[in-house]
Amino acid sequence: MTFSAHLEYLFHITCGECKFYWTYASMDKAFDITKKQYFCPNCGSKNVVTLEEEL
Ligand SMILES: [Zn+2]
């Protein structure tokens, strides 16, 4: 038996209000994080995500 693995896409999100940092994971390469609004887990502010250039 071999080992098996699945590729995970992990978005690093920083709140524009309080600068809290959290992550959002998806297993779907076509997932578009900019399509809906999210709540900051720290301060509760709601906003869309702007996707920055890859590092
Ligand atoms: Zn926040």
53 located within any domain: no
Split into its structural domains, the chain has a count of: 1
Is 42 contained in some domain? yes
Q: Does residue 55 sit within a domain?
A: no
Q: Is the pTM here over 0.85, yes or no?
A: no
Q: Is there a domain that residue 39 lies in?
A: yes
- Tell me how far the alpha carbon of residue 46 lies from the centroid of ligand 1, in angstroms: 8
The answer to whether residue 35 is domain-embedded is yes
Ligand 1 midpoint to CA 30 (Å): 26
Query: pLDDT tens, 10-33?
Result: 999 999 999 999 999 999 999 999
pLDDT exceeds cutoff 90 at 35: yes
Q: Above 80 in pLDDT, residue 34?
A: yes
Say if 14 falls within a structural domain. yes
Q: Does 54 map to a domain?
A: no
SS in 3 state form for the chain?
A: CCCCCCCCEEEEEECCCCCCEEEEEECCCCCCHHHCEEECCCCCCEEECCCCCCC
Which residues form the domain of 20?
9-48
Cα 39 to ligand 1 centroid, rounded to whole Å: 8
What pLDDT was estimated at residue 19? 98
- How confident is the model at residue 54, as a pLDDT? 80
Q: What is the pLDDT of residue 53?
A: 87
Residue 47 Cα to ligand 1 midpoint, Å, equals: 10
Say how many Å lie between the CA of residue 21 and the centre of ligand 1: 8
